[in-house]
Amino acid sequence: MSGRPAPDAELDEALALVNDDHDRRTGRRTGGAPVGGGDLRGASAASDAPGHDDALPQPPSGPATPDTPPAPAASGSHAPASTSQTKHRDTTPWPAARTVAGRAPGNSLSGRSAVPLGQALGLVLAAPLVALTDLPSFDTSAMDGWVVAGPGPWDVRADGILAGHGQPGPLSDGEAVRIATGARIPQEATAVIRSEHGLVDDKGRLHPRRDVTQGQDIRPRGQECRSGDQLLPRGTLVTPVVLGLAAAAGYDELAVVPRPTAEVLILGDELLTEGLPHEGLIRDALGPMLPPWLRSLGAEVIAVRRLGDDAEALHQAITTSAADLIVTTGGTASGPVDHVHPILRRIGAELLVDGVAVRPGHPMLLARVRPDQHLVGLPGNPLAAVSGLLTLAEPLLRTLSGRPAPSPYAAVLREDVHGHPHDTRLVPVTLRADHAVPLHYNGPAMLRGIAVADGLAVVPPGGGRRGQELEVLDLPWALPEALAEAGVEAGVEAATEAATGAATEAVTEAATGPSTSTGTGANTRAGTNADPAGECFT
């Protein structure tokens, strides 16, 4: 696991760059006083000393790539401690960022709209589901056979009773009549004899083949519920089963929390929507990825706009948007055409989260544009954007759509995973027999690892050890209906099938490498990345 000098110097250098930018943006400088308070801050001050985290798992050796922090020019070239400390004061710890995002919209269960059953799938009940009828709504036969009155043998009547008909005439003691499952039970009936448990003799008399008990195979009216009983509480996710239950209980429409609306603003002059990258232009990876992902998080995507690096267009788009959530991509840092912060300042938006202590994706932000409108600024690097989506957009949309928080789940690491000294890392993992196997190609600009991942492991500052349990964030398509709900087209479904079937092993193998203990062989041979494990964070 070791083999490379402690990366503190490199990280400090990278963090110093971040701090300089952040300070310019916010106009803030602390002048070098240690920043006390939270755990991370305390830890970061201590961990800035070179060599402090010798005990941490280290990235494997390998030449730096654009995704690795730059090597320092000399050991004395560290940024002053003050800037490093400022950085840790300004960013929000990852768990806190999720909490802030989840609380930002307030209580959304108060909003409701009535939608036809067919449109309610995936939404959340805004009111309890109360039975509008008894279930069953009449005494009904549970089996095909005969319905009888009194003790046998019985005289079998010539007629029969089918499901879907009105109340049949009453039976007299000693009478039997053929009955179908779901048909109404006549008055005075005492039991149903299943076809296979009765024998009709040549005189037309029915004899039971086994003991008959009073009321057998009759479902009494109200057995499941009485009209007015609460079947499901407010806040229940409408699954296909809930649709079935609601229909059975008499509903044509359901009161649901309306789907929050989202608008996606793709920033960047360098982005192409088709063809091969050329002359410094690259394909937009987020335009195709975000809308279905947002849908699977419960949003209705009302627009996707490509704005280039045009500040005025961004201003116009934000100030005229009717969406509950605006999602921007790129432009969160402080480059010459990174317009998100300046525009938010200009319109007086309230920055709720301005940078998160998470890798990748630390420049992500959350702003309140209006009391009922929020903006999530996703960094442009694609995996960093995923990190922002799961850290900020997911909890916000969960609250807006009234969905319950998923129960957190943990998996045991099958091998060590590198950590950042101060920040949480989100690392794509695949799950193998309840073990989380970290995937390679997890650099901030890479989607190759997460494309075959089952989830993102939440790696605490300092890293994770083999055998350690880590929280794993689910990817929404772990649930097939979430994909359907997201309006996935046939081609994508086919691709998903391919990735979940036998082919997955091969694909996943390509991302984990043949030997996950060292993980260097496959990638190096493939010549795809100078940093063999893609284990990099900037």
- Per CB under 6 A, residues contacting ligand MOO are 359-363, 379, 381, 384, 444, 537-538
- What does 268 interact with, of ligand MOO, ligand LQZAQKY5, none (CB < 5 to 8 A by kind)? ligand LQZAQKY5
The smaller minimum CB distance to ligand LQZAQKY5, of residues 438 and 443, is found at 443
Sheet-wide strand order for 325-329:
300-308, 261-267, 325-329, 373-378, 365-370, 350-354
Q: Running DSSP on this structure, what letter comes out for residue 237?
A: B
Exposure of 95 in the CB half-sphere (CA atoms within 13 A): 9
- What does 169 interact with, of ligand MOO, ligand LQZAQKY5, none (CB < 5 to 8 A by kind)? none
Residue 479: CB atoms within 10 Å: 14
Cα gap 229→225, rounded to integer Å: 6
CA distances from 473 to 33, 56, 252, 316, 357 (A): 37, 23, 36, 35, 17
Cα gap 499→399, rounded to integer Å: 31
CA distances from 242 to 9, 120, 245, 258 (A): 56, 10, 5, 17
Q: How far is the CB of 49 from ligand LQZAQKY5 (least distance, A)?
A: 22
Instruction: Look at residue 469 and give its three-state secondary structure.
Output: strand
- Closest-CB residue for ligand MOO? 444
78 neighbors 24 (Cβ within 8 angstroms):
no
Window contacting ligand LQZAQKY5 (CB under 6 A); options: 28-36, 97-105, 216-224, 359-367: 359-367
Give the H or E element holding residue 444.
none
List the one residue from 242, 256, 265, 266 that touches ligand LQZAQKY5 (CB under 6 A). 266
**Size of the residue set binding ligand LQZAQKY5 (CB under 6 A):** 28
Q: How far is the CB of 79 from ligand MOO (least distance, A)?
A: 17
The smaller minimum CB distance to ligand LQZAQKY5, of residues 380 and 476, is found at 380
Lookup result for tokens 């004395």:
76
The smaller minimum CB distance to ligand LQZAQKY5, of residues 246 and 367, is found at 367
Q: How far is the CB of 16 from ligand LQZAQKY5 (least distance, A)?
A: 10
Lookup result for tokens 């409408």:
238
- What does 395 interact with, of ligand LQZAQKY5, ligand MOO, none (CB < 5 to 8 A by kind)? none
The smaller minimum CB distance to ligand LQZAQKY5, of residues 140 and 381, is found at 381
Q: How far is the CB of 311 from ligand LQZAQKY5 (least distance, A)?
A: 13
What ranges make up the beta strands (E) of 444-506? 455-459, 469-474
Q: Which of residues 273-302 bind ligand LQZAQKY5 (CB under 6 A)?
A: 282, 284-286
The smaller minimum CB distance to ligand LQZAQKY5, of residues 21 and 134, is found at 21
Instruction: Look at residue 236 and give its three-state secondary structure.
Output: coil
Q: How far is the CB of 322 from ligand MOO (least distance, A)?
A: 29
The distance from CA 23 to its chain's CA centroid, rounded to whole angstroms, is: 33
Cα gap 363→227, rounded to integer Å: 54
- What does 293 interact with, of ligand MOO, ligand LQZAQKY5, none (CB < 5 to 8 A by kind)? none
Q: How far is the CB of 406 from ligand MOO (least distance, A)?
A: 24
Q: Residue 268, interface with ligand LQZAQKY5 (CB under 6 A)?
A: yes
Which of these, 520, 525, 521, 538, lies nearest to 61 by C-alpha position?
Answer: 520
The smaller minimum CB distance to ligand LQZAQKY5, of residues 120 and 314, is found at 314
Q: How far is the CB of 72 from ligand LQZAQKY5 (least distance, A)?
A: 16
310 neighbors 265 (Cβ within 8 angstroms):
no
Cα gap 95→39, rounded to integer Å: 12
Which residues are paired to 413 by β-bridges?
436
Binding residues vs ligand LQZAQKY5 (CB under 6 A): 17-18, 21, 266, 268, 270-271, 282, 284-286, 329-333, 335, 338, 360, 362-363, 379-382, 384, 444, 538
